[in-house]
Structure 1
Amino acid sequence: MTVASIRLASCAGALSIAVAAHADFRAALADYNAGRYLAAHEQFQRLAELGDCSSQFNLGAMALKGQGGPKDSGSGVGWLRAAAANGCQPLLGEKLLALE
């Protein structure tokens, strides 16, 4: 394989992962909107662990509300901080200060 074909294969692989992650996020959001919080939580968790800031934000909000598991303010604030660190919701940092 040439360097160019290796780069092309790498780009194609990264693109397929991004498309799959986008589809998983849409499925998680659909589950959340339908009230299937446990299913949504599991999908958001997978994506959040990969660094998806929207999923991190949603997990934080769900933990604070007790959706998909027991209320957990520590976990909720932790995921919201991760989302803020990843560039999600620029004003989120100020909102987190109000929670402390």
Structure 2
Amino acid sequence: MNTLFSYKYRSRQCYLCKNCGMTFNDATATPIAGTRYPDKWKKYFEYMVQGLTLPKIAKKLDIHISTAFYWRHKILNAIRSLDVRKLQGIVESDETFFLSR
């Protein structure tokens, strides 16, 4: 028995469960759920991994700095939810020097 009804919303395929009335799409329960610019997430993540600051990321992607801040926390919370406690594979470390005044 088919219990789903399919439709499009903002160019995204959505589904409605006929049994419970809940709606969902491919982004439901993911960090990009509810965001307006899902097409910018891949580039955002690349910039974040490269270590760019939030103002630089916001400027490059033409998003507000509060959006960049919110996205960073969504990503960090998603990583934290993986509950990975042990590093595996090759781990590299480098020295950091701070100029004292």
Give your verdict on TM over 0.5: no
TM-score by length of 2: 0.25
Structure whose residues are more often strand by fraction: 2
Larger relative contact order (CA 8 Å, sep ≥ 6): 1
Structure whose residues are more often helix by fraction: 1
TM-score by length of 1: 0.25
Structure with greater Cα Rg: 2
